[in-house]
Amino acid sequence: MSWRSLFKFELKAIFSNPSILFTVFGGVLIYSFLYPLPYIHQLPRQQQIVVVNLDQSELGRKLERMVDVTPQVMITARAESIDAAKAMVNQGKVQGMLVIPKDFQRDVLLGKSPTLAYGGDAAYFLVYGTIAEGLATVAGTLVAEVKVARMVMTGSDMALAAERYTAVKLNAQPVFNPTMGYVNYVVPAVFVLILHQTLLIAVGVLGGGQNEYLRAGKIGYWVHYPARRVVLVRGIVFSLIYLPLVMYYFGFSFSYYHISRLASITDLALLTLPFLLAVIFLGMILGQLIPRCELATVVVLLSSLPLVFSTGFIWPVEMIPAPISLLAQLAPSTPAINAFLRINQMGADFNQVLPLWGQLWGQAVVYGVIAARLMLKVKRENKLPVAR
């Protein structure tokens, strides 16, 4: 009943279970390449749009040609009415639409301000943003050309007119996502979630399998040790297994995909330790509650999408209903994702994530106590000796 023997039993139980090994090593490694693959080009390009040209003038056709040569969008269809264009967008035939109003050229030449209408499928934020950016850039370029031409006609120098056609010039510089792409936007957070889910499944499978073992009338090694010792040793063993995987994600994978890394190794280690322990102890709770080991995978996978959208990095946290947001705080992935993003992608000081760090440690302590109590409860229900 020594600590050393318990470590040996735990390691043997983990490394002799193919399901756990595939989840831990196969899942982490496969997802490190599989998940970012669709986003490897960083930005969506050549989004298909439909044009409704109600003017049919020379300037309107010039605008169409300018739109078609932009890298963001390409014209693949033309419609006679706005309703027809909307129907094509709703049916998924195109991702956006542009409406050139009637008397567009006349209003431009008279110095009036015609209204160009454009839109896109907002179900995908970056797709919608790409379409809006491309069409807005083209419209701004055309307006600039008309203004410069008008200034030249009134006697202004060409070079001076090109510099002074507008009083304000926008110089946009992205701060936290320099490429403005999918990889830097979503992959750092999802990698943390992958570590969370695979670790949760692995610990849950181990606990669920031990429950099956007890229900079959057999007595496993964990029965002969105090529950708190089993919880502690399992936490240490899985933490040691996952530390290299965390380093692989935050090291090689981030470098491979050119994702910014602003945090120091010390800060990352300080966040990683309570994160892993909280997930392990939560996985032990899950393992004690399920009757069969395969249910761990089902339960965890069903929670993946809700966790992604309730964390706050994809959908603004202010727009998430308060009950859902509070419920998401129970998952270690929520404070962990927000903390890792702030220190590693946004350059925050560790002092600025202290509340999230404290939340992770609080989860680790509470879930560890609950896991130990559930283990004692299972022993009593199966009329097994309770080790002290």
Is 199's pLDDT higher than 90?
Answer: yes
Is 43's pLDDT higher than 70?
Answer: no
Residues contacting residue 359 through CB under 8 Å, at least 6 positions apart: 329, 335
Q: Taking a C-beta distance cutoff of 8 angstroms, is the pair 60, 105 a contact?
A: yes
Chain segment 280-294, per-residue pLDDT in tens? 999 999 999 988 888
Chain segment 305-363, per-residue pLDDT in tens? 889 888 887 777 888 888 998 999 999 999 999 999 999 988 899 999 999 999 999 99
> What is the token pair recorded at 384?
């097994």
Task: Name the residue with higher pLDDT: 301 or 385.
Answer: 301
Q: Taking a C-beta distance cutoff of 8 angstroms, is the pair 168, 304 a contact?
A: no
Q: Cα torsion at 15, 19, 22, 27 (round to 10°)?
A: -130
Q: Is the dihedral of CA 266, 271, 275, 277 positive or negative?
A: positive
pLDDT of the residue at 343: 94
- Domain definitions of the chain by residue range: 3-39+182-382, 47-166
Number of H helices, E strands in the chain: 16, 4
- Nearest-angstrom CA–CA distance, 160 and 162: 5
Helix, strand or coil for residue 148? Answer: helix
- Nearest-angstrom CA–CA distance, 145 and 3: 78
Chain segment 96-117, per-residue pLDDT in tens? 888 888 888 888 777 777 888 8
Reported as type and span, the H/E element at residue 77 is strand 73-78
CATH of domain 47-166: 3.40.1710.10
- Nearest-angstrom CA–CA distance, 242 and 233: 14
Residue 22 CA: distances (Å) to CA of 17, 18, 235, 317, 335: 9, 6, 19, 34, 27
Is 49's pLDDT higher than 90?
Answer: no
- Nearest-angstrom CA–CA distance, 19 and 295: 12
Phi and psi at residue 124, to the nearest 5°: -120, 110
pLDDT of the residue at 193: 93
User: Which band of pLDDT confidence, cut at 50, 70 and 90, is reported for residue 167?
Assistant: very low
User: Which band of pLDDT confidence, cut at 50, 70 and 90, is reported for residue 196?
Assistant: very high
* 196-200 average pLDDT score: 96
Chain segment 354-375, per-residue pLDDT in tens? 999 999 999 999 999 999 999 8
Chain segment 212-259, per-residue pLDDT in tens? 888 777 788 888 888 899 999 999 999 999 999 999 999 999 988 888
- Nearest-angstrom CA–CA distance, 280 and 283: 5
Q: Taking a C-beta distance cutoff of 8 angstroms, is the pair 50, 67 a contact?
A: no
pLDDT of the residue at 147: 67
Reported as type and span, the H/E element at residue 107 is helix 104-109
pTM: predicted TM-score of the whole model, two decimal places: 0.76
Residue 9 CA: distances (Å) to CA of 221, 234, 380: 7, 10, 22
